[in-house]
Amino acid sequence: MSHLFRLIKILNVAASYRLYEFLDQQRSISLLRMLLKIYGIPWFLSKNARRDKNSRLRLAMQELGPIYIKFGQLLSTRRDFLDSELADELQCLQDNVPPFTSPTIKEVVELSLGTSVASVFSELDSQPLASASVAQVHAGRLKTGEEVVVKVIRPGIEKTITADLKLLKWAARLVETHLSIGKRLKAIEVIDDYEKIIFDELNLLIEAANTTQLRRNFSDFAVLYVPKIHWDYCRSNIMVMERIYGIPISDIAGLEKNKVNLKKLAETGVEIFFTQVFDHAYFHADMHPGNIFVAENKPDQPQYIAIDCAIIGSLNDDDQQYLAKNLLAIFKRDYRKVAKLHVECGWVPPDTKIHEFETTIRSVCEPIFEKPLKDISFGQLLVQLFRTAGRFNMEVQPSLVLLQKTLLNVEGLGRQLYPELDLWQTALPFLENWNSKRLNPFTLLSRIQENVPGWIEQLPELPKLVIDAATNSRQLEEINRSLVKKQQSIEKELARQRVRTRNSGLAALLFAALLLYPPLSTLVSNLPILAVGLAVVGVYLLYFKR
């Protein structure tokens, strides 16, 4: 019954915000469109009646609650098929929600840790510092004196998420089946990705592990600081982390007041991003302004502080090579190489016509390159590349979608800090350095050295592997010889049958000829008919049973 009430609530919100305008005029979907239109007749009474439809979709998602807000944020990353205006609108979704008060933070912590709050914390604020869609954060201090923040998952949120996901999957099947954009949208695939992301966010042990890995990656780099995780007090629904102090990256006035070098800050942000992508192949994929701070004590050599590592992107070797080689080729406007790389990497079908793909890419990129490089959005160019490849059935990997979203965030932040930021000038050295390191003989030698220990470990097993291989080879040879003998035996038997058949045919013809011999045929009137029949049998055996 609760599912029914939830569905009615969703339909009511969809009707009141006139979301039927997003539906096609197809007959298969016209009934739903008509019902929503009739159900939503009082729309003119709403204060949002005059807003454009993209704005109304955002407001509807906000009204439906945390799960739909998160889904809208994820959907905003799929700029390879969404209109830019709709993607921008969905990216503005805020997930500031009222904090939960029951059970209390004290009760949640004690139940999770199995001990009293007083035995772990000297202080724990009952009022949250921040409250988001699936979790909220409280300030505290450990008994050892360290200032910390305690992040806890909203009680009961998993049940709500599971119920809403069922409805979203139903809607995704409807979209893929009945809407013209359905197949390009890959709505079911988007929901599946969302399901994985949202359930990963519900497990704070995953976020804690991501944070620890990112901190380790930048342990020797002063440009990015990642807070320490206190693992003794982490569980799947609770995470205790070092508390940080800094200026929010979006607070330009605060940064200027602290005399932070904004040009250096913007360039450093881009360098951090490309270091993560091309050196670590592991990047913070939720770098919106709420998760990025700037240290107050280093204005001339700005230091970033990153929090909320629930969403992390990682690139395998193929993804990394695809991205780097394609971007280098785009820098050189070598569109044929871009087209070939897409095919070689398996991102578009192998039967794609290279010259057609090359022409399409050129038609998209050349108008962009007519502008000065500093005025070209690096992120938007990547979006255009993915969107163009989508026309040739390119299946974009989730890791590349996350990277595209992160790059757009980084570029937006960088140009907000320093409008003259030339992302291309910053990116090119990283790409060239990555390419030269990949082809460097010392790099190849180091890769061999990395594999040597594994090869040494396998040496004791080598004789056994050789013997097993030889044994298997002999067994295969015996099986092959046995099959050859059987085949030869069958062929001999077939040959004998053909000889017998041919002899039978000759005998039948000979007997028929004797029966047709005039002296004999005159004795019995039916002998000619019998002879003709035998002759037919003989011909059949001779020519059709070979």
Q: Could you read off the pLDDT of 24-66 as tens digits, one per residue? A: 554 444 545 555 555 554 544 455 556 778 888 888 888 887 7
- Domain assignment of residue 457, yes or no: no
Q: Is 200 helix (H, G, I), strand (E, B) or coil?
A: helix
Q: What is the DSSP secondary-structure string of 294-343?
A: E-TT-SSS--EEE---SSEEE--HHHHHHHHHHHHHHHTT-HHHHHHHHH
What pLDDT is stored for residue 232 in this prediction? 95
What pLDDT is stored for residue 452 in this prediction? 58
Nearest 10 degrees: CA dihedral of 196, 197, 198, 202?
A: 90
Is 508 in the same domain as 397?
no
The rounded distance, in Å, linking the Cα atoms of 147 and 141 is 4
- Domain assignment of residue 256, yes or no: no
The rounded distance, in Å, linking the Cα atoms of 246 and 255 is 10
Q: For tokens 């087209």, what's the residue?
A: 339
| End residue of a domain, out of 57, 78, 95 | 95
Strand order in the sheet with 247-248: 224-225, 304-306, 292-294, 247-248
Instruction: Using alpha carbons only, give the angle 94, 98, 102 rounded to the nearest 5 degrees.
Output: 145
Q: Give the residue from 307, 273, 311, 319 showing the smallest Cα distance to 412.
A: 273
Is 239 in the same domain as 111?
yes
- Domain assignment of residue 465, yes or no: no
Contact assessment for residue 240 and residue 109, using Cβ atoms and an 8 Å cutoff = no
Is 205 in the same domain as 268?
no
Give one word for 55, left, alpha or beta, with left for phi > 0 and alpha for psi -120 to 50: alpha
DSSP state of 123: E
Is 10 in the same domain as 126?
no
Q: Which CATH number fits the domain that encloses residue 190?
A: 3.30.200
Would you say how long the chain is, in residues? Answer: 546
Is 108 in the same domain as 228?
yes
The two three-digit tokens of residue 427, written as one number: 């990116």
DSSP state of 229: B
- Domain assignment of residue 435, yes or no: yes
The rounded distance, in Å, linking the Cα atoms of 379 and 400 is 12
Residues paired with residue 305 on neighbouring β-strands, in sequence order: 225, 293
Beta strands in 88-132 (DSSP E): 121-124, 130-131
Whole-model pTM: value is 0.69
Q: Which helix (H) or strand (E) holds 140?
A: strand 135-142
Is 414 in the same domain as 477?
no
Q: Give the residue from 208, 95, 212, 110 showing the smallest Cα distance to 157.
A: 95
The rounded distance, in Å, linking the Cα atoms of 342 and 392 is 10
Cα 433 versus chain centre, distance: 27
The rounded distance, in Å, linking the Cα atoms of 99 and 69 is 16
Contact assessment for residue 387 and residue 361, using Cβ atoms and an 8 Å cutoff = no
Q: Is 535 helix (H, G, I), strand (E, B) or coil?
A: helix
Structurally, the chain folds into a number of domains equal to 4
What pLDDT is stored for residue 544 in this prediction? 46
The rounded distance, in Å, linking the Cα atoms of 182 and 187 is 7
Ranges of residues in the chain with a pLDDT under 70 are 1-4, 20-50, 74, 77-81, 94-97, 178-186, 372-374, 395-399, 438-459, 461-466, 468-476, 478-480, 483, 495, 497-546
The rounded distance, in Å, linking the Cα atoms of 238 and 152 is 5
What pLDDT is stored for residue 314 in this prediction? 86
518 Cβ neighbours under 8 A, 6+ residues apart: none
Provide long-range contacts, Cβ within 8 A and 24+ apart, for 342-348. 342/389, 342/392, 342/394, 345/318, 345/321, 346/318, 347/322, 347/389, 347/394, 347/395, 347/396, 348/389, 348/392, 348/393, 348/394
Instruction: Read off the amino acid at residue 392.
Output: F
Q: Give the residue from 10, 95, 22 showing the smallest Cα distance to 55.
A: 22
Is 70 in the same domain as 113?
no
Q: Give the residue from 8, 15, 7 showing the smallest Cα distance to 41.
A: 15
Is 14 in the same domain as 101?
no
What pLDDT is stored for residue 523 in this prediction? 46
Q: Which helix (H) or strand (E) holds 536?
A: helix 527-543
- Domain assignment of residue 462, yes or no: no
Q: Give the residue from 397, 392, 385 showing the smallest Cα distance to 326.
A: 385
What pLDDT is stored for residue 247 in this prediction? 94
Residues paired with residue 137 on neighbouring β-strands, in sequence order: 130, 151
Q: Which helix (H) or strand (E) holds 445?
A: helix 441-458
- Domain holding 491, by residue range, is 471-543
Q: For tokens 């982490």, what's the residue?
A: 234
User: Which pairing describes strands 135-142 and 147-153: parallel, antiparallel, or unpaired?
Assistant: antiparallel
Judge residue 133's burial from the number of C-beta atoms within 10 Å of its C-beta, 0-12 exposed, 13-18 middle, 19 or more buried.
buried
Is 116 in the same domain as 240?
yes
What pLDDT is stored for residue 517 in this prediction? 46
The rounded distance, in Å, linking the Cα atoms of 65 and 70 is 9
Helices (H), 24-65: 27-39, 53-64
- Domain assignment of residue 459, yes or no: no
| End residue of a domain, out of 392, 423, 439 | 439
- Domain assignment of residue 455, yes or no: no
| End residue of a domain, out of 46, 64, 95 | 95
The rounded distance, in Å, linking the Cα atoms of 513 and 535 is 8
Catalytic positions: 286
Instruction: Using alpha carbons only, give the angle 26, 29, 35 rounded to the nearest 5 degrees.
Output: 125
Is 418 in the same domain as 311?
yes
Contact assessment for residue 516 and residue 530, using Cβ atoms and an 8 Å cutoff = no
Angle, helix 53-64 to helix 84-91, in steps of 10 degrees: 30
Is 142 in the same domain as 84?
no
What pLDDT is stored for residue 503 in this prediction? 54
The two three-digit tokens of residue 23, written as one number: 């539906």
- Domain assignment of residue 464, yes or no: no
Is 120 in the same domain as 83?
no
The rounded distance, in Å, linking the Cα atoms of 279 and 217 is 10
The rounded distance, in Å, linking the Cα atoms of 160 and 100 is 14
Contact assessment for residue 172 and residue 190, using Cβ atoms and an 8 Å cutoff = yes
CB atoms within 10 A of CB 470: 10
Q: Give the residue from 336, 394, 330 showing the smallest Cα distance to 360.
A: 336
